[in-house]
């Protein structure tokens, strides 16, 4: 076993900020939807819009980060071991079988994660962001008497946005649970907090092993 620096600082910052924002957006959004009552309708609308802008800002940064660091490659799905991974979660783990794939800093997502997160990035997030933006700029006449968005019926936008919100919540529930399937229930969460995780040293890249980390002054 080796302590490996697996989640970089920006990645952790991005992950937790996004998590908070999404939860906050869900809380305020479902208040707008009149499912819950927390902040009061007027505040919920204002907070939802502010949080939405912050999430957009964060998404811009993270897209930039993923591209410049090449980390986007982590999400290229590999289907070869996908069924093995699914088999592990549905049967294998109950029998105490080992993980079919190995986590390394270069390859930190298992095939199922890669597919799911890709789905998150390509379907769920764009769905909710795009419908959210259209929703935000939807008004027949804006303050300057300009028509911004009016030809698309508002209900379609709202329906898609609401559907996206449910989808996202479902993702969050399963995602949080899945983090407990590491070697101990808290291993993965600790890793996302500290950046370090104990990994089998078989494939660990030497440059990111803790003691040799050049960034660690």
Binding site for another protein (CB under 8 A): 8-10, 13, 17, 32-34, 40-42, 45-46, 50, 53-54, 57-58, 61, 89, 93-96, 139-143, 145, 153-155, 158-159, 162-163, 165-167, 169-170, 173-174, 177, 180-181, 215, 217
Q: Which does 128 bind (CB under 5 to 8 A by kind): ligand HEM, another protein, none?
A: ligand HEM
In the bound state with another protein, the residue whose beta carbon lies nearer, of 65 and 78, is: 65
d(CA 123, CA 126): 6
Three-state DSSP state, 177:
helix
In the bound state with ligand HEM, the residue whose beta carbon lies nearer, of 44 and 199, is: 44
Q: Give least dist CB 79 to another protein, A.
A: 23
The residues, any chain, with a CB within 8 Å of residue 58's CB and separated by 6 or more, are 14, 17, 18, 21
DSSP H or E segment with residue 176: helix 154-178
Using CA atoms, how far residue 133 sits from 31, 37, 42, 58, 72, in Å, is: 18, 23, 19, 15, 24
At residue 32, what are phi and psi to the nearest 5 degrees? -60, -35
Pairing of strands 2-5, 196-199: antiparallel
Q: Give least dist CB 48 to ligand HEM, A.
A: 5
Residue 203 corresponds to which tokens in the numbers above?
Answer: 């494939």
Q: Give least dist CB 78 to another protein, A.
A: 24
Residues forming the site for ligand HEM (CB under 6 A): 22, 25-26, 29-30, 32-33, 45, 48-49, 52, 55-56, 128-129, 132-133, 135-136, 158, 161-162, 165, 168-169
Q: Give least dist CB 204 to ligand HEM, A.
A: 35
In the bound state with another protein, the residue whose beta carbon lies nearer, of 40 and 126, is: 40
d(CA 137, CA 151): 12
């Amino acid at each position: 076993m080796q302590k490996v620096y697996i989640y970089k600082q920006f990645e952790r910052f991005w992950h937790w900020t996004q998590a908070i924002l999404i939860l906050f957006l869900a809380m305020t959004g479902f208040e707008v939807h009149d499912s819950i009552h927390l902040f009061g309708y007027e505040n919920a609308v204002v907070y939802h819009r502010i949080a939405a802008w912050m999430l957009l800002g964060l998404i811009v940064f993270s897209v930039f980060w993923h591209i410049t660091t090449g980390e986007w490659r982590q999400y290229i799905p590999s289907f070869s071991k996908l069924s093995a991974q699914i088999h592990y979660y549905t049967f294998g783990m109950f029998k105490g079988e080992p993980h079919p794939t190995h986590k390394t800093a270069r390859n930190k997502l298992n095939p199922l994660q890669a597919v799911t997160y890709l789905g998150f990035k390509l379907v769920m997030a764009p769905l909710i962001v795009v419908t959210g933006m259209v929703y935000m700029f939807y008004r027949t006449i804006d303050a300057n008497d300009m028509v911004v968005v009016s030809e698309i019926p508002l209900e379609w936008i709202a329906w898609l946005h609401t559907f996206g919100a449910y989808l996202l919540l479902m993702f969050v529930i399963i995602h949080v649970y899945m983090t407990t399937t590491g070697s101990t229930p808290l291993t993965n969460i600790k890793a996302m907090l500290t950046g370090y995780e104990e990994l089998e040293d078989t494939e660990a890249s030497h440059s990111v092993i803790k003691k040799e980390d050049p960034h660690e002054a």
